[in-house]
Each structure stands twice: as structure tokens, then as C-alpha cells.
């Protein structure tokens, strides 16, 4: 029998989609998707630290509802609705616990104490109900509910396993034995189980190529037997893989449909296995665990008075940098995969803004790291931009293109380097829009010890006791919020008339490239959408009203909520006062870090 214990690690580790809080010694997850309260094990608010933790996670999603489900605490709470019905407990963004109708759909919080966090030491997974089958050398877990393919993929990965990949006839037989008589609730067809392979969309006259989550063809994986008349790509949208319980063979299904699924963890190898001459040689590896950085990053995110060290100093188990970068101890470098697509000539600037560079593929470990991040997004293109290595590469396009766009005439029709999902570097036209990789070596990762931020160009202003950084590019409000947060700072929040004056001084004569209006800078406050007859209530990123924050002076005739969609805050450079703007419009912004609060 497998031993279920808390993993004996230096820093606390659990599922990769949970965050650790050292003050409560517990792991938390905020489910941004809305569901009805079904009585599952939810977060019980037991301390003020629970509220701080929940608020810190809640505020990452400012456009979600104002409430989220919690576990009932047995106390009487005010109702958030007027009519009496069966009610469940939920928490507002301000940290108040109210009663809400259980039929409503809301996001929700889950929590598990560290000493209760399941870890199966035999199967090396952060979960329960895994069964080891010695004949194939793997552990398997049958889901208890039905998920879509993407949801199932993420669920297995969070537990440090993967969707089932059949590698032999013996494993197909083991699958049949494992699933005999099992019917997963909510499954569209209880005789199908989602498996770890899928195909990319193709044109009508092209053949689907199914590959596993390790980027192998089914033949390379070792098992490629389909059920009769499969795959048939019914309705032209069956791109995901399933296994038929009756015969242990494959079937194609719609990726959005929900089925039971099986998570697998091989015990035979936890290090890279390279097959000579195979494109898939980079793919069978144990993913790098990022959980070791959660506790330190989480302290910084929710302002729990952390003790922060330089990323190149002695941090113990893992190195630290921006919260949106991943550390690889084999290359001693940090990586970020930008899932958004940009043209080849613009991506280097984005990386430089983040203190890194467009990733240069220097080692096989770089390829492994890139592949591990790339495969989280199976629906993205097959290539992503990387830095040019000075070598000649095959073109990823087979025919010359005719360009009609006037926008492209000013740019050379040159080729840029892009890495494929299989790890090969190809040439690609630079005018194409692709995702891209950024990388920075740990020794080069910027850290400002005075301002305690993972970034450069912060300026300390002693009169207000804070460090500030003016952006070098224009972002939307959500992008700016995320950028500051990644550096362990926040969008500027004015707390006094003196800080408003400091803002005017630092922005005098500054014009941020690409800004819709260079005289506005995005600031750390916004409002939730309201009905037509309601008044907007602007609150800061710390959930304070502007009055509570200490500065609430608006520019003349503001806020005016022009066109009914100006929910985000800016500051006007001419007078240092506040203005409302459309959250999707791009402006310059300022990141702030209070020095006295981080020492």
C-alpha cells in the first residue's frame, strides 16, 4: 500500500495549482470559474490570515463577481440577497462573510492544511487514490468526476502526473482491468476515458496527426490501435483522444465534452529518457517543480511582511525572481513563456522590459524547459519565437507569401528563429505573430535591494518613502497590474497630496511610447461594473476606497464614465489628480513599492 504523507521537503510543496501561506501553514486555491455550492470541502475562514490570503488571490481577478463561496462557519451572517432561501456562506472582496443563495454560481476557495496535504510517496504524486500496477510499472488514478480534455490535462499535471498514455498492449489490458465496471458521474459516455493524446486543427483536406502529451506520435509511444472506424473526426471537431473500455483501443472525441479520465505516473524513470534518433527524445522527463517558490512569492504578493533575499544569494532550495518566471536548476536560469502572440521584431523589447532577453537555445536543457512550458497550451501554434543563434535553419513555410498589408511595408521580409513543439529550431517570417520565450540567467536576474523588487529603474523618493518605476511601454490596466505584481510591486496608489506632487515631478516631460494619451498614467484603482442607475465605487488594489487610501481628488468633471466603460483609474500629469479610462486601452503606468513596509 502506498504511504500517504506530507512530503518531507525543506519548503512546503503540494499541487502546482495551490499556493502556500507560511503564516497559516496551509495551501490555498482560488477557483475563478463559477459553480453552484455543492457542499464540497471549501475554505473555512479560521483566522484573519485566511482573509488576507483569500483577498490576495481574489484581487487577481477584478472582473469576477464580488463574492466567492466559503465553508459554513456556523455563525449567523447578513444575507447578500433579500429573499429568504436555503443559503450558503460566501466572502466578499472586502473580507466580510455573508449568506448567499446556494443556487447561485460563484467562484470559490479551497484550502488544505499542510499536515493534511496528501502526498503518495510510492507514486510520487500530490494526490490520493493512485493504484500501482506492477505489470506496467506505473501508478494510475481514475477521476471521480468528468472533465473536458484541457481540464483533465491540468488536473493530472497539478498532481505531478499526466493523462494516461498507452505504451504497450499490456498497458491497454491494464486499462481495461482498471476501468471494468467503473462509471464516472457526469461523463458524456461512461465507456470512454480521456487519454493523453490529441491533434492540432488542420485544413479540410489534411489528415489529423495525433500526438501524446510528450509530443510523440502514437507509434513512437508504443501503442496505436484504434477502435473500428476510428478516428472519424465526427462533425470536424474531434481532436482529443479517449480510450474505449470494451477493447482498450483509441477513439477521438470533442475536446470540450466531459468524460472520465485517468492520471498516470511512471515509476520506472523520473529523469530524462532519450531515444536515439527520435524527435520525442526531449519529451519524457519529469517536469520541473515550481512549488518550492510559492511560499516566498506568496508572502510578497499579499504583503505579509516578508524577509526577502537577493535572488543570487543563499535562498535554500530554489532561486527567486519575478513571480511570472520559472526557475530551472539545471540551467540556473529563469524562463517565461508568453502565450500571447507578437510579431518577431517586437518580442525582444517585451523580454527586456521584464529584465530578460529573448531565449537563446544554448543547451538541450533549454529545449526541455521550453517544451515543458509550451505543452501547457496545446491549442497555440506549433512554433514560438526564440533568439537567433546565427545558424542556418530550414524554413517553416513552404511557399512565398504576397504581402498586401501596408503596415508590413516598412519592415524587412527577413526570417526570425522559432522553436517548434518538437524542439527543432526553424526559420519563420518575422512578420508572423507567434508566442515567445524569455530567459534570464540567475546571475543576471535584476534585483533592487534598496527597493526590494525584481526589476530595474526604480527610483526611491524619500519624501513619500516609496520606490517608483515609470514603464517604458504602454499596457492595458490588467497587463500593467500583472507587470508590477510580477516585480513584487504594485500599480501606484496615491496616499497623500505630497505623493500626488511627487507623481507630477517624476512624470514631467515623460512620454511613454504607444500610450493612447501620454498625459495619463494608469494607477492602482478601479471600479466594478454596475447597473445604469448605480454609482461607480472606485477602490484601490488593496481594496480601500480612495478616501481610505488618503487621496481622492479627481480632475474637473471626472469621473465621467464616458461610453459607460471607464472603470479603471489613471492620474493626470498636469495636476496629479485622478481620471477614469477604459481598462482595455493602453497607457503608460507606474509601479510602486513602499520601502518602509518591506523591511
Q: What is the mean pLDDT of residues 85-98?
A: 58
Q: What is the chain's mean pLDDT, rounded?
A: 81
Q: What region does 450 belong to: left with phi over 0, alpha with psi -120 to 50, or beta?
A: alpha
Sorted by sequence, the CB contacts under 8 Å of residue 331 that are 6+ apart come out as 363, 365, 366, 369, 441
Residue 68's Cβ-count burial label (10 Å; 0-12, 13-18, 19+) is: buried
| pLDDT band for position 282 (cuts 50, 70, 90) | very low
Reference 472, options 378, 352, 584, 567; nearest CA is 352
pLDDT (0 to 100) of residue 293? 33
Q: What is the mean pLDDT of residues 289-305?
A: 32
Does pLDDT of 302 surpass 90?
Answer: no
Q: How many CA atoms lie within 13 A of 381 on its CB side?
A: 18
**Three-state DSSP class for 503?**
helix
Separation CA 520–CA 507 (nearest Å): 10
pLDDT in tens, 305-353: 232 233 333 333 346 788 889 998 889 999 999 998 999 999 999 999 8
Q: What is the mean pLDDT of residues 124-130?
A: 91
Q: What is the mean pLDDT of residues 367-393?
A: 87
Residue 219's Cβ-count burial label (10 Å; 0-12, 13-18, 19+) is: exposed
Separation CA 195–CA 216 (nearest Å): 14
pLDDT in tens, 42-67: 778 788 777 777 777 776 676 677 77
Q: Torsions phi, psi of 88, nearest 5?
A: -120, 170
> Alpha carbon of 388 to those of 38, 326, 348, 416, 422: distances in Å?
52, 22, 11, 7, 18
| pLDDT band for position 27 (cuts 50, 70, 90) | confident
Cα dihedral: 127, 133, 136, 137 (round 10): 60
Architecture per CATH, 459-594: Roll (3.10)
Does pLDDT of 14 surpass 50?
Answer: yes
Listed in sequence order, the DSSP H helices in 120-267 are 149-158, 169-179, 218-221
> Alpha carbon of 101 to those of 68, 98, 110, 495: distances in Å?
12, 10, 19, 37
> Alpha carbon of 387 to those of 203, 321, 433, 438: distances in Å?
30, 21, 15, 9
Q: Please state the domain extents for the chain.
A: 19-116, 131-266, 291-396+414-444, 459-594
| Predicted TM-score (pTM) above 0.95 | no
Q: Which CATH number fits domain 131-266: 3.90.1150.10, 3.40.50.300, 3.10.100.10, 3.40.50.11540?
A: 3.10.100.10
Q: Do domains 291-396+414-444 and 459-594 have the same CATH topology?
A: yes
- Helix or strand run (H / E) with residue 101: strand 97-101
More confident residue, 357 or 313: 357
The DSSP 8-state label assigned to residue 366 in this structure reads: H
Reference 161, options 266, 281, 296; nearest CA is 266
CATH for 291-396+414-444? 3.10.100.10
pLDDT in tens, 535-549: 999 999 999 999 999
CATH for 19-116? 3.10.100.10
Report the first-to-last Cα separation within the chain, whole angstroms: 48
pLDDT (0 to 100) of residue 441? 94
The DSSP 8-state label assigned to residue 456 in this structure reads: S
Amino acid at each position: 500500500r502506498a504511504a500517504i504523507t506530507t512530503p518531507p521537503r525543506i519548503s512546503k510543496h503540494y499541487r502546482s495549482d495551490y499556493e502556500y501561506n507560511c503564516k497559516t501553514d496551509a495551501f490555498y486555491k482560488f477557483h475563478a470559474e463559477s459553480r453552484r455550492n455543492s457542499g464540497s470541502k471549501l475554505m473555512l475562514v479560521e483566522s484573519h490570515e485566511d482573509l488576507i490570503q483569500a483577498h490576495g488571490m481574489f484581487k487577481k481577478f477584478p472582473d469576477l463577481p464580488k463574492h466567492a463561496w466559503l465553508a459554513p462557519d456556523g455563525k449567523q451572517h447578513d444575507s447578500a440577497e433579500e429573499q429568504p432561501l436555503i443559503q450558503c456562506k460566501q466572502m466578499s472582496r472586502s473580507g466580510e462573510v455573508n449568506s448567499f443563495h446556494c443556487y447561485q454560481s460563484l467562484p470559490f476557495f479551497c484550502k488544505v492544511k499542510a499536515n493534511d496535504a496528501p502526498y503518495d510517496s510510492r507514486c510520487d504524486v500530490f494526490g490520493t487514490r493512485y493504484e500501482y500496477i506492477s505489470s506496467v510499472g506505473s501508478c494510475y488514478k481514475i477521476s471521480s468526476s468528468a472533465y473536458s480534455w484541457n481540464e483533465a490535462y491540468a488536473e493530472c499535471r497539478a498532481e505531478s502526473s499526466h493523462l494516461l498514455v498507452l505504451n504497450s498492449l499490456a498497458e491497454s489490458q491494464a486499462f481495461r482491468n482498471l476501468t471494468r465496471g467503473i462509471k464516472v458521474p457526469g461523463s458524456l459516455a461512461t465507456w470512454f476515458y480521456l487519454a493523453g493524446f490529441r491533434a492540432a486543427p488542420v485544413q479540410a483536406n489534411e489528415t489529423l496527426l495525433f500526438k501524446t502529451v510528450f509530443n510523440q506520435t502514437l507509434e513512437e509511444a508504443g501503442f496505436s490501435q484504434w477502435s473500428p472506424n476510428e478516428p472519424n473526426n465526427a462533425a470536424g471537431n474531434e481532436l482529443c483522444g479517449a480510450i474505449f473500455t470494451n477493447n482498450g483501443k483509441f477513439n477521438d472525441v470533442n475536446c470540450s465534452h466531459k468524460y472520465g479520465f485517468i492520471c498516470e505516473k511512471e515509476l520506472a524513470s523520473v529523469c530524462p529518457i532519450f531515444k536515439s534518433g527520435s524527435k520525442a527524445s526531449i519529451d519524457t522527463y519529469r517536469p520541473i517543480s515550481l512549488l518550492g517558490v510559492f511560499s516566498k512569492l506568496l508572502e510578497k504578493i499579499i504583503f505579509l511582511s516578508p524577509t526577502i533575499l537577493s535572488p543570487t544569494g543563499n535562498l535554500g532550495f530554489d532561486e527567486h525572481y519575478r513571480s511570472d518566471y520559472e526557475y530551472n536548476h539545471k540551467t540556473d536560469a529563469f524562463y517565461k513563456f508568453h502565450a500571447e502572440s507578437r510579431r518577431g521584431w517586437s518580442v525582444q523589447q517585451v523580454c527586456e522590459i521584464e529584465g530578460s532577453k529573448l531565449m537563446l537555445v544554448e543547451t538541450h536543457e533549454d529545449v526541455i524547459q521550453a517544451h515543458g512550458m509550451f505543452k501547457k497550451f496545446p491549442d497555440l501554434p506549433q512554433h514560438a519565437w526564440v533568439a537567433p543563434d546565427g545558424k542556418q535553419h530550414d524554413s517553416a513555410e513552404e511557399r512565398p507569401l504576397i504581402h498586401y498589408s501596408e503596415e508590413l511595408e516598412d519592415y524587412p521580409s527577413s526570417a526570425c528563429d522559432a522553436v517548434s513543439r518538437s524542439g527543432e529550431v526553424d526559420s519563420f517570417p518575422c512578420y508572423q505573430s507567434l508566442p515567445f520565450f524569455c530567459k534570464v540567467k540567475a546571475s543576471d536576474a535584476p534585483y533592487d535591494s534598496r527597493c526590494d523588487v525584481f526589476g530595474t529603474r526604480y527610483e526611491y523618493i524619500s519624501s513619500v518613502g516609496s520606490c517608483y518605476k515609470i514603464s517604458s511601454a504602454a499596457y492595458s490596466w490588467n497587463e500593467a497590474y500583472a507587470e508590477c505584481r510580477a516585480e513584487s510591486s504594485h500599480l501606484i496608489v496615491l496616499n497623500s497630496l505630497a505623493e500626488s506632487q511627487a507623481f507630477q515631478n517624476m512624470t514631467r516631460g515623460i512620454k511613454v511610447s504607444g500610450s493612447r494619451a501620454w498625459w495619463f498614467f494608469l494607477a492602482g484603482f478601479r471600479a466594478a461594473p454596475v447597473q445604469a442607475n448605480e454609482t461607480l465605487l472606485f477602490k484601490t488594489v488593496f481594496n480601500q476606497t480612495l478616501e481610505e487610501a488618503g487621496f481622492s481628488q479627481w480632475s474637473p468633471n471626472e469621473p465621467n464614465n464616458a461610453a459607460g466603460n471607464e472603470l479603471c483609474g489613471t492620474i493626470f500629469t498636469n495636476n496629479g489628480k485622478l481620471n477614469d479610462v477604459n481598462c482595455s486601452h493602453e497607457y503608460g503606468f507606474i509601479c510602486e513599492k513602499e520601502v518602509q513596509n518591506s523591511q
